[in-house]
Structure 1
Amino acid sequence: MYSSGLFLLIFITCQMPGSQSQECVSRQEVQSTLRHVHKLLSAHETSFLQSVRSLRKKLDLLHNNTIKHGSNINAGKNSTPICLPPNPPANGRMLGQVFKVGHEVHFLCNPGFQLSGPETRECLDSLRWSGEEPTCQRIDAGAHNNPTTSIPTSTSPSSPPSVSVRPSRCIEFQDSMHCTCEQGYSISRQDRSLCTDIDECELFRMTQAGRLCLHMCMNTAGSYYCQCPTGYSISKDNRGCQDIDECETAAHNCTKDQVCVNTFGGHRCMVVECPRFRNASYIKTSPLQCERNPCVQGNKACLKAPLSISFHFMSVVSNMSTPRVLFRVSAARVLGDALRFGLLGSRGAGHFTLQRSSRQSGELLLVEPVQGPATLEAEVEMSELERRTLLGRYVTKVTLFVSPYSF
């Protein structure tokens, strides 16, 4: 439209009378001028349209913000009532930005100060905060020496105490708020500005089979650690438990006359004494063995007494799978033509059995699982015969210590 008007104006000007010195421009010059004018007008039109679009976006944004602000005001009037924001303690701070009924805020003190009063306050239906207003009191350097002062030993002026609630890190992206937490924390369901500690011990127990720790899981702020019972040390993976051998490390209280026996989670100090038989006497030939003195000729009661009595102590875990071979009795050499194995008395009845493993050996088996802690005893007898005549008896007294744990 603009180019045609301009062409008409130039054409008319060319034909005006009285312009003796003016010459008409050529057709090519007119077309070149029109193209230049067209480009100029197009550039102006594009710039104008961009300005209009930018202005329209700003107007829309202002309109939306006005609507949001109005809806927030209406929502505040019509939704859950809110409490007045509580005052953070001096030398401390408050965590939480939601003050609706049923929501909580948390209080922390700066390093060198200790919180006095509730750590958490809740907005009640009465639109008042629960509990008293907390304060932060300076920690006295000499307070640890005062027995009447109650200060956690893990708290020091140089490092703030671990807490289960921390502020989240939030950024605004594409008209929405995105909040993240440190490792070991998750966004609070009540207030996205807060991060609450993840109880790994409870989470693992609820979502996966087995246990996070072999014995006991202790939750901490942002993490956890495993604990072992007395008599055990934590393994290299920080999850398992290893028995401490008090006998090997000399961490026992046994006397020289006692035998130190390591058990799972502890130890026993055992006194080994030679038994007494009628018309027979014994002498201790080693810490765990007694041998019979020679019998008087013709003393049949002495000849029936065991030639030797050995003592054997064993430690096992609770509820160990069965059947399980515990102990093997063997003859170094056989003088007679037969060996016979058996259990003496009623000790260990229902828990043990004896089976022949070869011509010269027998095995003591645990046939029933045992729930610890428990102590079981059994006496294994090996008899040597010659044409069914007893040549000698050998007795092994086995004592089994069952741990209260399954590890």
Structure 2
Amino acid sequence: MEYWCLILAASPAAMLILPAGDGEGPVFPQECLSHQQVLSTVRQMQKLLSAQEAAHLQGMRSLKKQLSVLHSPVSICPSADTCPQLAVPLNGRKLGRSARVGHDVHFICNAGFRLVGSESRTCRRDRTWSGTQPFCRSIDECASNPCANGGTCVDGNQSYTCLCPRGWSGASCQTPIHPRRASPDVDECQLFQPNPQTRICLHDCLNLPGSYRCLCPPGYVLHADRNTCEDVDECAGSQHNCTHGELCINTFGGHRCVRPKCPPPRHNTSYVKTSSFQCERNPCPTDSRACRLAATSISFHYLPLQANRTVPRVLFKMSTTRFVGDSLRFAIIGGRGQGVFAVRRSDRQTGELVLSSPVVGPATLEVELEMSEFSRKVLLGKHIFKVTAFVSQYEF
């Protein structure tokens, strides 16, 4: 009968099978096995190799998953890092679906209504929303005919103004004016308005017989106090001229129509719009270093400013909701009007954009900020903030 001897090497992947000889005894001192025993041993080795191969593949999948987490955008959070869903205001709309930490939701009202409350709300790290829940209020404040004695009602932002006829005054034209005899009328505008310490109107003054009226520039209405001006929110109703696909940004004394766009594909890098004001980078090819060095996300921010604001003034804050590395760096990398801005750190995870010089309006300023995250001086990812500031002509 023929026998075979099985010699195992140090590695289970290497083995040698030799014939036992010509019947004069085995050529090796090892114990010889029968043919069936050899086949059984080979099958066991095959199972061992298959198990090692499966473990190797599982390890590669786990490593790829960890690499994907490191290259994910800073704004992406685990599913548990979310805020409660916000309600859509009656007669209005909600822009933005994400309720994850660090994401914004924006609200607008239908034509004929104005927004009361927070125009934008941000999901904070403590899983609560910033601001207050807004609602849409009818624009027509004059529907109840509040002006008496033939006064003309002018609708305003959550208020109204009565233009009184000759002989009447007061918030609702309810007080009769009795002209004084044998004495000239006093021009209050000429007497008080030129002096900043005694001026009676925030903007301009119109003299009337026995009285005066404060006037406001276009884009503003007279406040209920009868001497200050408040901004009209054109974006809350149908008072803007933005076309379909454009977003209306209310400014002091007016509005702007914007259309945030993601950058075009370049060097194997492309972006997708994830909300009205944010773009996120698509997954990079494994061999594209240029894509891995590009920003993982780009967000757009629009800030209305009044002219000649006191400085320094914090305009904008930037932070990461999930800090993976050991350091963050903040920098201004471009834009127009950079000389009036500065960047400083407020804590370990937060940077601030600061207005460092007063600005005379009207003006449009742009600044591009970069927040980079490092681990042992190796770049893990970066986020770009494109900030546009619309400076009003007036100081109110």
Question: TM range, normalised to the smaller chain?
Answer: 0.5 to 0.7
TM-score (norm 1): 0.52
- What residue in structure 2 maps to residue 378 of structure 1? 367
Pair 1:397-2:366 in alignment = no
Cα offset, 1:183, TM superposition: 6.3
1:5-404 mapped onto 2 (5 Å cutoff)? 194-205=182-193, 209-276=197-264, 278-279=266-267, 280-345=269-334, 347-404=336-393
Distance 1:231 1:330 in 2: 34
Mapped partners of 1:344, 1:363: distance in 2:
14
CA-to-aligned-CA distance 1:34-69 (integer Å, 9 cap, x gap): xxxxxxxxxxxxxxxxxxxxxxxxxxxxxxxxxxxx
Q: How many residues align?
A: 223
Structure ranking higher in helix proportion: 1
Distance 1:273 1:216 in 2: 41
Q: CA deviation at 1:250?
A: 3.7
Distance 1:354 1:282, change over 3 A: same
Write the deviation string for residues 307-339 of structure 1: whole angstroms up to 9, x where unpaired: 100000000110000000000001001111211
Q: Could you tell me how far apart the structure 2 residues matched to 1:208 and 1:307 are? A: 51
Partner of 1:121: none
Q: Which amino acid aligns with 2:319?
A: S
TM-score (norm 2): 0.53
| Larger radius of gyration between Structure 1 and Structure 2 | 1
List per-residue Cα deviations over 1:280-322 (Å, max 9, x = no partner).
1111100000111111111111111111000000001100000
Alpha-carbon distance between aligned partners in 2 of 1:183 and 1:283, rounded to the nearest angstrom: 69
Could you tell me whether the CA contact under 8 Å between 2:338 and 2:366 is conserved in 1? no
Quote how far apart the aligned CAs of 1:208 are. Answer: 7.4
1:11 counterpart residue number: none
Give a deviation string over 1:211-232, Cα, whole Å, max 9, x none.
1101110001221101111111
Q: Residues of 1 paired with 2:270 and 2:247: CA distance? A: 22
Q: Indicate the structure whose relative CO is greater, using CA pairs within 8 Å and at least 6 residues apart.
A: 2
Specify whether residues 223 and 285 from structure 1 end up closer, same or farther in structure 2 by C-alpha distance, changes over 3 A only: same
Distance 2:289 2:183 in 1: 85
Residue 380 of structure 1 deviates from its aligned partner by: 1.1
Give, in whole Å, the separation in 1 of the partners of 2:247 and 2:292: 30
Give structure 1 regions of 4+ aligned residues with deviation exceeding 6 angstroms.
none
Mark the CA change 1:318 to 1:206 in structure 2 (over 3 Å): closer, same or farther.
Answer: closer
Task: Answer with 297-306 or 362-371: which moved more.
Answer: 297-306
Q: Secondary structure at the match of 1:301?
A: helix
Contact kept in structure 1, 2:219 and 2:253, CA below 8 Å: yes
**Aligned residues of 2:335 and 2:368 also touching (Cα < 8 A):** no
Give me the whole-angstrom Cα distance separating, in 2, the residues matched to 1:318 and 1:330.
28
CA distance in 2, matches of 1:371, 1:402: 8
Residue type of the alignment partner of 1:365: V
| Mean CA deviation greater in 321-330 or 222-231 | 222-231
Deviation at 1:348, TM superposition (A): 2.8
- Contact kept, 8 Å, 2:317 with 2:351, in 1: the verdict is yes
Deviations, residues 190-214 of structure 1 (Å, cap 9, x unaligned): xxxx432211101113677241101
Pair 240,206 (structure 1): closer, same or farther in 2 beyond 3 Å? closer
291-300 or 203-212: bigger deviation: 203-212
Question: Distance in 1 between the 2:252 and 2:262 partners?
Answer: 27
- The alignment yields a C-alpha RMSD, in angstroms, of 2.2
Stretches of structure 1 lacking an aligned partner (at least 5 in a row): 1-153, 155-160, 164-181, 188-193
CA offset digits 1:119-155 (Å, max 9, x no partner): xxxxxxxxxxxxxxxxxxxxxxxxxxxxxxxxxxx9x
Determine the C-alpha separation between the residues in 2 that align with 1:226 and 1:301: 60
Structure 1 SS opposite 2:183: strand
CA contact (8 A) 1:216 1:226 kept: yes
**Identical residues among aligned pairs (%):** 51
